[in-house]
Amino acid sequence: MPIDFAFRWCTDYTSEDGQLAGDGHARRILSRSDRRVVYETLYDYPAGWAWSRQTVTLHPPDRWTATAVGNYRNWDLVYTLRPLAPEVTEFTFHGARTPVGLARRNPSQRALKAELNEMWKHFGRAMRSDYLRQVRRSRAGRPRPPTRAPKR
């Protein structure tokens, strides 16, 4: 999909994002402006709730950063989009995490990578589906060319 669609989709934080991610986390949007979104997330783990508050700073058209403070770990994240073709956009992110509070240590790099890749695979499918739905709607609204020459 085009970079403008990908940016809007990825930064349109909603309370339904947990279902899209495939893990069912609960999210509450606390504030939103053109350049900043603040939300809280709750994950239900066997040992109890994991909570975090994320402050996201938007840098349209191709980047956003997030700082998360939580009861298990703190995060600093950078998300970047890069157009590869008119309807192809590369998504990358990287970050640093620090165990705090209830966390004894971070999950292994391998376990975290697998969890994040799975989450973004779900998001990617949902984004692609939304994009294709938008393309079909826009094509349906266009007048169709005549199938044969008009009579004179």
Tell me how far apart the alpha carbons of residues 20 and 108 are, in angstroms, rounded to a whole number: 24
Amino acid at 59: H
Q: Give the DSSP letter of residue 152.
A: -
pLDDT in tens, 60-71: 999 999 999 999
Residue 40 confidence (pLDDT):
95
Residue-wise pLDDT for 133-147, tens only, equals 888 888 776 555 444
SS (H, E, C) 95-148: EEEEECCCCCCCCCHHHHHHHHHHHHHHHHHHHHHHHHHHHHHHHHHCCCCCCC
Q: Does the pTM of the predicted model rise above 0.75?
A: yes
Give pLDDT, residue 21: 66
Q: Which residues of the chain have pLDDT under 70?
A: 21-24, 141-152
CB 82 within 8 A of CB 92: yes
Q: Which domains does the chain possess?
A: 3-138 (3.30.530.20)
